[in-house]
Amino acid sequence: MNLTQNQIIGWGLIIGPILFIISVPLWFMQPETNVATRLVEEFAWAQDNKLLTVIPILFTGTAFGIIGTAYLMFTRQLQEETGKAILQLVFIFLLMNITLQIADFGVYLDTILSPTEELSASIIFGALSTTGLSDILAGLGFIILGKAIRDSKKFGSKSNTLISFGLLIFGIANILSGFVSEDISDLLGFVGWLIIFNIVNLTLGRAMLKGNS
């Protein structure tokens, strides 16, 4: 069976969030760590509990890859339909965010499965991620994308409003997480990713599938 682009985007935005939700309780199996030495403690624990560490990384990384690919495809499609040049910038922002995040997941996973002398590379990538660069890029991208969806009136009024407003709130939460303490950042991540973003993803995914029928 040949899938259309709308079907790929739609199913990606439904399957991705499901995998992400499954991964959430698996992360809570890891112990709390001191903020100042978080990376070192995390990797030390991971070396002794590889299976418990690898499984949530695989689920989360796969989910993130699926969702990210779906948004890149959707952004390109919307840019072609509306002719908005700014969506090319959104595409670049999201692509950079996905690249940083997947690289972080990959190095993290490689470190767990490799000798401990590889730790320094993961600390560098982990530090890069925690600076908030990837969050800020994603935040800006989703805010602009949300406005473009609202202006395009691509979906029904209720879906259009929910998706555009949800992306606006999620984008703001991403940007703020790059400038606040880790505790507040974790809260923003929980509310943003687990609640708002997944509602937006499922709504957008359903709208894309409905539009394909």
User: What's the pTM?
Assistant: 0.83
Estimate to the nearest angstrom the gap between the alpha carbon of 103 and the chain centroid.
13
Number of structural domains the chain divides into: 1
- Run of H or E residues at 138: helix 133-152
Reading the block at residue 141, the tokens are 């991208």
The residue ranking higher by pLDDT, 116 or 26, is 26
Helices (H), 28-132: 38-48, 50-82, 86-112, 119-130
The residue ranking higher by pLDDT, 48 or 208, is 208
pLDDT digits (tens, 9 = 90+) for 10-24: 999 999 999 988 887
Average pLDDT over residues 131-142: 83
Domain span at 107: 5-212
